Structure 1
Amino acid sequence: MALIVVIDDDEAIRTLIAAALRFEGYEVAEADNGSAGLALVRGNAPDLVISDVNMPVMDGFAMLQALRADPAIQATPVILLTSLQERAHVRTGMTSGADDYLTKPLVFEELLEATATQLNRQLMRQTVQEQAVDAAIGQALREQEKKLGRLYEKKMLAELADKWPSAETLIEDQRFSSASVLFVDVVNFPALAEKLSSTELSEVVREFYKNAGDTLYLFGVFHMQFVGEGLLAVFVGSTDTDTVNHGLRATRAALGLIDAAQRVQAFLLSHFPGRSLPRFEICVGLNSGAVTLAKLEDPLWGSAQVLPVGDSVSTTLQLQKQATLAGWKIAASANLLREVAGAVKTGRRKRFSLPGRSGAVDGTEVLGIAP
C-alpha cells in the first residue's frame, strides 16, 4: 500500500484530499505546514508528497528545497498545489524540482490521475533498480560518459572562442554545452494573411504570441525571440533542479503551445464569424545540443541583441519545416528524446533529409506526456 504525505494548512482541503486518497486505497499522513510535513517525509519515507505552496512556518518551495537537498529522500516525487492566479509560483515549482503541479480549486479526478502517474513512475524506477542492476550500472557509466563529453565540448568551445578573431560586435557570449531549442511557427500564416486585413492579422498574431510567451515563461524558458512569424526559445539546465530537465520542460512547453493554438482558433471563430477562415495551426520543432547565445552590439545605436547560434539551432529550424510538410504538430530529434528518457508519448518516426546537411536527422512525432 502506497504511503502519501499531504501537506496543507487549510484543514478542510487537507481533509478532503486525504479522504479521496484513502478511498482509493492509499495510506495517508497529514501535516499542516511544510516543516511538519518534511519531518513526516524524513520519518516515514513516503512514496509521494502532495503539498500546498502558501503555508505558514515553512512554505511549499522551502519544503521542496530541503527535501531535494536530503540524499535520503531527494528522489521522492512531489506534486505542488497552487492557485490559478499564481502563475509565477507554478513556474518556480516546475523549475525547482517539482514533478507535477495542480491548480486550485482542485478537480479530484485530476488529483487521482496525477497521483497514479507519479506512483507508477516510482514503481517502474524501483522495478528497474531491483531487476536490472547491471543495466543501472551501465546507464550510470553512460551518464558519466555524457557528462565528460559535455565538459570536453565546453572546453573545446572555450578554446575555439579564445582562438577566434576578436570583433567589437561580439561581447559576453553565453555558451551551453547542453540546452533544448524550441521553434514554433504558424503553419498557414500566408493563407490567414490573404483573408485578414493587416489590422485583423495583427490581432491574431498578438493573441497567439501572448499565449505562447506565457506558456514558455511558465516552463522556465531562458531566452526567446521572434524569427519571422515564428518564435525561437532556448531552455537550459538549472543548478537547483534535479527532476525536471530542460528537455522535458521544452516538451511540456511545446504541448502547451498546441493548446494555445486551439485557443487562438476559438478566438478566430468568435471575433470573425462567417468569414470561412483557414484553421489556425502551428508546428513545433524540438532539439537538444550545444547552443551559444551570441550578444551582438549595434554599432549605430549602441544597443545589444542576443542571437542563438549553433548547429542545434539551425537543425531545429529545419526540423520544424520538415515536420510541417509531414503534417506533424510536434517533431523531436533523437537528441531531445534522449533528454526526456521515455517520459513522453511518441507517434510516427521518420528520417528527414535537411538542406545543407550531409546526413539525415531522425525525427519523432511527440503526442503527449507518458502516463
Structure 2
Amino acid sequence: MTLIVVAEDDPGTLKLLTVVLEKKGHDVVAVSDGASAWENVQQLRPDVIVSDIDMPGLSGLELLERVRAHPACALTPFIFLTSLQERRDMRHGMSLGADDYIAKPFRARELAEAVMAQVNKNNMRAQSQDMHVQSALSGALQAQARELSDMYEERMARALNEQWPGGGAARQANHHEQATVLSAGLVNHALWTNTLSAQDMAQLLKRFYDSCGDTVFLFGAHSLQFLGDGVVAVFADGTDAPTTSPHGLRAAKAALALRKAVSGLNSFVQTLAPGHGLESVDLSVALHGGPVAMMRLDGLLGGAAQSVPVGETVMDAVALQKHAQYPGRTGITVSAPVLRSITGAVHPVRRYLLALPHRVDPMDVCLVEPLP
C-alpha cells in the first residue's frame, strides 16, 4: 500500500486531500506545516509527498530542498499544490526537482492521476534496478516484437480489405470515454511549397502519409485522418488494440516512432530539388487526452465510409501541435493528463502554460524527449 505525506495549512483542503487519497486505497499522513512534514518524511520514508507551497514556518519550496538533499529521500516523488498567485514560484520549484504540480482548486480525479503517475514511476525505477527483471523484460520485449510483427501483418491485411480508416466492425465505435489524440505536422511545409512543383509536393506528402499510416497502425491507432500537411490519430483501449498497453503509452511510442520515420524522408527531399538548400524534414507532434466522439460519414461523393474523430479533445490536440513552443528545435509536446499517464517513459524537458486561440484558459503542457 502506498504511503503519502500530505502538507497543507488550510484545514478544508487538507481534509479533502486526505479523503480523496484514502478512497483510492493510499495510506495518508496529513500535516498542516512544513516542519511536521519534514519530520514524517525522515521517519516514515513515504512513497509520495504532496505539499502546498506557502505554509507557516518551513515552506513547500524549503521542504523540497531538504528532501532532495537527503540521501535516503532524494528520489521521493514530490507534487506541489499551487494557487494562481503562486504560479511564478513553480519554475523555481521545478528547477529544485519537483515532479509535478496541481493547480488549486483541483479535481479529485486530477489529484489521483498525478499521485498514481508518481507511484508508477517509482515502480518502474525499482524494476530497472533489478537485473533479473531486466533480463526477463528483454526476453518479453523480443517475444512482443515478434507478436507485434505477426499482428501487424494481420491487421494491415484486414485494414486494406475494409478500406481503412473507414468501415469495419472494429472501427464503428461512436464514442471513447477516454482516448489519446496524436496530432502531427510537417514543420517546413510552407517553405517547400514555394520551391517544389505541385507534382513533387504530392510525392512528398504521399511518402509522408505512407510513413505515418504504417507507424500509427502498428501501435494500434483506432483511426487516422490526413489534414493537409498533417495527420490526426486516435488511440483508445479496446479489443482491437495490438497489446494491453494503455492508449497514452502507445500514442507516445507512436509519436517517437513517427519522428524517426519522417527523418528518413530527408534524402528524398534533397533529390526533388538538388542545390536549393531545402530545410530538413522534421515533425512537430502533440498528444492530448480526453473524450473523443467518432462521427461516421457514409460514402461522401460515392467514396468509402469514414469515421472522423470530433470534439474538444481533437481540437485541443491540433491547436497544441500548431502553437506549441519548440525553441531551437522540434519535438513532442504533451498535455498534463497525457504526461501523467506516461510518466517514467519519457524525459520532461520544459513545462509551461500555453495560450490557445480557441480556449479561455491556457493549457498545461510539457515538451518531452525519449529516455536515453
TM-score (norm 1): 0.54
- Deviation of 1:174 after TM superposition, in Å, equals 1.4
What is the deviation of 1:256?
1.0
Residue in 1 that maps onto 2:311: 310
Alignment check: 8 A CA contact 1:323 1:330 kept? no
Change (3 A) 1:355 1:83: closer
> Does the alignment pair 1:335 with 2:325?
no
Conserved in 1, the CA contact under 8 Å of 2:151 and 2:242?
A: no
- 2:141 aligned to which of 67, 74, 79: 79
1 CA distance for matches of 2:262 and 2:230? Answer: 13
Question: Whole-Å Cα distance in 1 between the matches of residues 300 and 138 of structure 2?
Answer: 53
Q: 1:41 corresponds to which residue?
A: none
1:82–1:287: structure 2 CA closer, same or farther, 3 Å change rule?
closer
Contact 1:226 1:232 in 2 (8 A): yes
Structure 1 counterpart of 2:356: 354
**For residues 241 and 301 of structure 1, what CA distance do their matches in structure 2 show?**
32
Partner of 2:268: 267
The amino acid across from 1:314 in the alignment is: M
Change over 3 Å in CA distance of 1:283–1:49 after alignment to 2: closer
Deviation of the 1:46 alpha carbon: 9.7
Match of 2:15 in 1: none
Relative to structure 1, is the Cα distance of residues 210 and 339 closer, same or farther in structure 2, using a 3 angstrom cutoff? same
Q: Distance in 1 between matches of 2:134 and 2:350?
A: 38
Partner of 1:35: none
Change in Cα spacing, 1:325 to 1:48, as seen in structure 2 (3 Å) is closer
- Name the SS for the 1:79 alignment partner: helix
Residue 48 of structure 1: aligned partner: 136
Whether 1:250 aligns to 2:311 is: no
Question: Which runs of structure 2 are paired with 1:1-371 in the superposition (5 Å)?
Answer: 48=136, 50-51=138-139, 78-81=140-143, 88-89=149-150, 91=152, 174-239=174-239, 244-298=245-299, 301=302, 304-323=305-324, 327-368=329-370, 370=371
| Distance in 1 between residues matched to 2:282 and 2:137, nearest whole Å | 38
Q: Displacement, 1:341?
A: 3.0
Cα distance change on mapping 1:242 and 1:262 into 2, 3 Å: closer
Please report how far the alpha carbon of residue 217 of structure 1 lies from its aligned counterpart in structure 2 after TM superposition: 1.4
For the residues of structure 1 that align with 2:131 and 2:180, how far apart are their CA atoms? 37
Give aligned-pair identity as a percent: 32
> Unpaired runs of 5+ in structure 2?
1-129, 155-171
Q: What is the SS of the residue equivalent to 1:194?
A: helix
CA distance in 1, matches of 2:280, 2:318: 22
CA distance in 2, matches of 1:278, 1:299: 37
For residues 323-367 of structure 1, give each alpha carbon's deviation from its aligned partner in whole angstroms, at most 9, with x where no partner exists. 266554211001111221332111011211111211110110111
Quote how far apart the aligned CAs of 1:278 are: 2.1
| Equivalent pair of 1:82/1:90 in contact (CA under 8 Å) | no
Distance of 1:308 and 1:211 partners within structure 2: 21
Amino acid at match of 1:48: A
CA RMSD of aligned residues (A): 3.1
Distance in 1 between the 2:142 and 2:300 partners? 47
In 2, the alpha carbon distance for the partners of 1:83 and 1:233 equals: 22
Distance 1:241 1:263, change over 3 A: closer
Distance in structure 2 (CA, Å) of the matches to 1:46 and 1:83: 16
Number of residue pairs matched by the alignment:
224
Residue equivalent to 1:4: none
Q: For 1:198, give the aligned amino acid.
A: A
Q: Is the 8 A contact 2:183 2:285 kept in 1?
A: yes
- Could you tell me whether the CA contact under 8 Å between 1:250 and 1:286 is conserved in 2? yes
- Deviation, structure 1 residue 316: 0.1
Task: Indicate the SS of the match to 2:308.
Answer: strand
Flag the 1:206–1:190 CA change in 2: closer, same or farther, 3 A: same
> What is the letter of the counterpart of residue 204 of structure 1?
L
- Give 2:211's aligned amino acid: N
Where do 5+ consecutive residues of structure 1 fail to align?
Answer: 1-24, 28-44, 52-77, 94-171
